[in-house]
Amino acid sequence: MKKVVMPLVIVAVLALIPYIGVEYAGLDYLFGVIMPYTAALVLLAGMLWRMIDWLRRPVPFNITSTCGQEQSLDWIRQDRIESPSKPWHAAVRVLSEVLLFRSLFRNNKAELRKGPDLVYGSHKWLWLAGLVFHWSLLLIVVRHARFFLATLPAPVAWIEHADSFLDVTVPALYMTDAIVLAAVSYLVIRRLLDAKVRIISLQTDFFPLFLITAIVLAGISMRYLTKVDIMSVKALGTGLAEFSLDAPGEIGALFYVHLFLVCSLMIYFPFSKLVHMGGIFISPTRTMLNNSRAKRHVNPWNAPVKFRTYAEYEDEYREKMKKAGIPVEKE
């Protein structure tokens, strides 16, 4: 239970910090201006550092992951996505991973049953939860552009209208709000109920899920329950986008809780597993080509190395070997 309780406590403490700071210490400027700029700087610098660090790592061999027929003879059909031989094959492969989670869709679960028999089955619920979770978060982020732009671009307006087309509440219910909560609940419950996943789960696996849940709940509360001054939020957002250092207006403590949790996620992002969002685009197992039959890959480290025979080695260390009781070929 420590894996679950500790992340919950940390998220609760993070939520209390801005609430107490705004309500009792008047630190609106700290949490409304300084923290967003600091979080954005850490996010950009951290992601840049991680990408440069990964790109500097030498990859002397062709290590692309393949699970399909590579290009060979003309009459043998090639699996261009699973075994790419051209750059556009690899590009399609990466985009299918990013946009559709293709490898997760093809993932199977294995169960050992009586017999013993190893049975493979489909495991699509995880793929569906992961897909709607990420897409819902993306749409929510895009919708929030209305707070940072003076005029709302048409694509953002279309997304916002499509997200709220059910129009079952006042204000209109955004479907992504409900979907992301359902998806993150499934991901948490899966880690708790599945014994195999629970064993390998760490506190760092639960923390971002709880943090995102708290961010969404605070946002939903501001929209449907505890109202905030939207015009003040808009003024703060456009001011941040224009790099203004003006003090924010009277908004309310719950907004600063929401904003501070978002800033915490931004700061945590480059130093956690969440950084895979950028790493997928430079992963050699996905971006490299499987063209070993058409192109010779030479290890750049394979430089001539000076070596000596065993006879030369024994000539140098014979006396020491004798003292140590190690048998030698020549006396």
Mean pLDDT of the chain, nearest integer: 89
Output the six-digit token pair for 24: 């009792």
Per-residue confidence (pLDDT) for residue 121, from 0 to 100? 67
Q: Give the burial string for 89-122 (b: 16+ CB within 10 Å, else e).
A: bbeebbeebeeebbebbeeeeeeeeeeeeeeeee
SS (H, E, C) 195-244: HHHHHHCCHHHHHHHHHHHHHHHHHHHHHHCCCCCHHHHHHHHHHHHCCC
Mean pLDDT, range 188-193, rounded to an integer = 93
Q: Is the peptide bond before 36 cis (omega within 30 degrees of 0)?
A: no
pLDDT of 1 strictly over 90: no
Q: Which of 1-5, 30-34, 263-267 bottoms out in mean pLDDT, i.e. has the lowest? A: 1-5
Convert the pLDDT of each residue in 103-113 to its tens digit. Answer: 888 777 777 77
pLDDT of 171 strictly over 90: no
How many whole angstroms separate alpha carbon 174 and alpha carbon 168? 10
* Domains of the chain (ranges, CATH numbers): 2-323 (1.20.950.20)
Convert the pLDDT of each residue in 139-148 to its tens digit. Answer: 999 999 999 9
Convert the pLDDT of each residue in 207-258 to its tens digit. Answer: 999 999 999 999 999 988 888 888 999 999 999 999 999 888 889 899 999 9
Mean pLDDT, range 160-165, rounded to an integer = 88
Residue 46 three-state SS: helix
Mean pLDDT, range 167-184, rounded to an integer = 88
Give the up-direction half-sphere exposure of residue 226: CA atoms within 13 A in the CB hemisphere: 13
How many whole angstroms separate alpha carbon 193 and alpha carbon 186? 10
Measure CA of the first residue to CA of the last residue in the chain; give whole Å: 67
Per-residue confidence (pLDDT) for residue 63, from 0 to 100? 84
Mean pLDDT, range 4-22, rounded to an integer = 95
pTM: 0.85
Per-residue confidence (pLDDT) for residue 303, from 0 to 100? 67
Per-residue confidence (pLDDT) for residue 44, from 0 to 100? 97
CB neighbourhood size of 201 (10 A): 17
